Amino acid sequence: MVPKYLFALLFAFLFSQAQAQRAPSDLLETKKGSVIMQPILHGSVVFTWNKKTIYVDPYGGAAAFTGIAAPDLILITDIHGDHTDLKTLEAINTTKAKFVVPAAVAEMLPASLKSKITILKNGDQTIQSGVGITALPMYNLPETADSRHPKGRGNGYVLNIGGKNIYLSGDTEDIPEMRALQNIDVAFVCMNLPFTMDVDQAAQGVLAFKPKVVYPYHYRGQSGLSDVENFKKLVNAGNNQIDVRLRNWYPTN
């Protein structure tokens, strides 16, 4: 029989390894306390604020969330497996979690979660755990019948936390609704071909709505990782006041 202390040492080692690989968190100061913004993997990010923990598109299994508190709120943007990851939802502790999702995602979730779900369509709003949530369109251009992301199926989100606005693009291109955004403090913007948009489209979209801070995320496509360094150059060439933050969303790379 293996001594208990060896199990404890192994757990401690795995815990430290998971934290060491994860990109560092950042703080967003609000008039109601700090928001901890923690990149996780691909399009998954965690926000912690006012003793509440918010998971967005949890993905990567329980190991990706080692050392992070169980969610009070889970937002999901779309039906694809890197957003609605049923295995990860089964693996993490969702006992106290409420869900905010589009209708197409709600249909995929197990019956045990149905009572926890708030369904939003594009343009809808709700307040959950003290966080204002607005659902926005996310879709591919041009709009076609066989689009990977047709308009109306999925949601991008703007979260209002302590008076600050955080935009999560979901899977989209530089659509008019994104370009028209105003007063965004922090933006998380996707850029992976052929599923969403390229680096140049993403940069032009960001330059249109001028967030104070932008994180490129969701940037692995069929040809590997997008050139986020070039994204930063393009954005800052157009507006050097935008803080472009490059983080490693793929910690095994």
pLDDT tens digit string along 217-230?
A: 999 988 899 999 99
Going by pLDDT thresholds of 50, 70 and 90, the confidence category of residue 3 is low
Sheet containing 98-101: give its strands across.
26-30, 33-41, 44-49, 52-56, 73-75, 98-101, 117-119
Q: What are phi and psi of 84, to 5 degrees?
A: -95, 85
- Contacts of 59 by beta carbon, 8 Å cutoff, 6+ apart: 40, 41, 42, 43, 44, 82, 83, 85, 88
- Architecture per CATH, 25-244: 4-Layer Sandwich (3.60)
d(CA 199, CA 128): 33
pLDDT tens digit string along 55-93?
A: 999 999 999 999 999 999 999 999 998 999 999 999 999
Q: Which two tokens stand for residue 247?
A: 């983080």
3-state secondary structure of 19: helix
pLDDT of residue 76: 98
User: Residue 241 class from Cβ within 10 Å (0-12 exposed, 13-18 middle, 19+ buried)?
Assistant: exposed
* Residue type, position 61, single letter: G
Averaged pLDDT of the chain: 91
Residue 244 pLDDT > 90, yes or no? yes
Q: Which two tokens stand for residue 72?
A: 């009070």
Q: How far is CA 240 from the centre of its chain?
A: 24
pLDDT of residue 77: 98
* Residue type, position 38, single letter: Q
Domain range annotation of the chain: 25-244
d(CA 15, CA 21): 10
Residue 182 pLDDT > 50, yes or no? yes
DSSP state of 23: P
Q: What are phi and psi of 171, to 5 degrees?
A: -90, 105
pLDDT tens digit string along 99-157?
A: 999 999 999 999 999 999 999 999 999 999 999 999 999 998 988 777 889 999 999 99
Q: How far is CA 138 from the centre of its chain?
A: 13
pLDDT of residue 10: 33
